[in-house]
Amino acid sequence: MSEAALREQICLLAKSLFDRRLTHGSTGNISARTEDGGLLVSPTGTSFGRLDPARLSRFDASGRLISGDKPTKEMPLHSAFYDTRSTAGAVVHLHSCHSVAMSMLPDVDEDNFLPPLTPYALMKLGKVKLLPFFLPGDPAMGEAVRGLAGKRTAVMLANHGPVVAGKDVEAACNAVEELEETAKLAMLLRGTQARALTAEQIQAVVTEFNVEWDV
């Protein structure tokens, strides 16, 4: 994909997320690999609903900012995914309501944040790691992701929001939406006797779709 087309795609998908209230105000950030190994990144303090393709932060392959506005303060978080997952072509971070609410509950599984309610969350995300609270922009968030050694495609920042890496921008956006919708289902079903996927059903999905699960 040409850089011009990638710029347009980033802004189009970001606006779609914003318009459907998956993030709000000037929250969230998004990045994608360019054909030359550089990055296009949403600037700091910008709204997903009003990103300008011409003003995206542009990094070269060595990680040097070469054009555009000042990038998001969460660059260490994005860089950690690119550096530890060779398949990462895009990273999306949202402040989506249900996943953030779920991250505050005392009894969620830190190693496997999302309950296995549907096959699609497993297929698109694998196991989601719940990370502790960090101040926004804290480089320690990136170090926490690096500590996972590339074994997770998605993390949930407690009291903050989900971060998902994908092979491209569309895949990353689809996956982070799946994370939020699964969290919404979990919150709606909380306190009920809902039937989650069984261990046998989980294994069938993992095997059929080559899911990164036993990590």
CATH number for position 76:
3.40.225.10
C-alpha to C-alpha distances, 71 to 40, 58, 75, nearest whole angstrom:
9, 8, 7
Q: Quote the pTM value.
A: 0.96
* 170 burial via Cβ count (<10 Å: 0-12, 13-18, 19+): middle
Structural domain contains residue 60: yes
Catalytic residue among 3, 35, 74, 143: 74
State the pLDDT at residue 215.
65
- For this structure, is 74 an active site residue? yes
Q: Phi and psi of 41, rounded to 5°?
A: -135, 145
One pLDDT digit (tens) per residue for the chain, 215 residues? 999 999 999 999 999 999 999 999 999 999 999 999 999 999 999 999 999 999 999 999 999 999 999 999 999 999 999 999 999 999 999 999 999 999 999 999 999 999 999 999 999 999 999 999 999 999 999 999 999 999 999 999 999 999 999 999 999 999 999 999 999 999 999 999 999 999 999 999 999 999 988 76
For residues 41 and 3, give the distance between their C-alpha atoms in angstroms, rounded to a whole number: 12
Candidates 3, 120, 170, 212; catalytic one: 120
| Any domain includes 170 | yes
Is 203 part of any domain? yes
215, part of any domain: no
Residue carrying the six token digits 């190693």: 111
Q: What is the pLDDT of residues 69-114, one digit of tens each?
A: 999 999 999 999 999 999 999 999 999 999 999 999 999 999 999 9
Domain holding 188, by residue range, is 3-208
Domains in the chain: how many in total? 1
Q: Is residue 14 domain-resident?
A: yes
Is position 213 within any domain? no
Structure tokens at 155: 């993390």
Tell whether 214 is covered by a domain: no
Vertex 22 angle, CA 16 and 26, to 5° = 85
Q: What is the DSSP letter of 91?
A: E
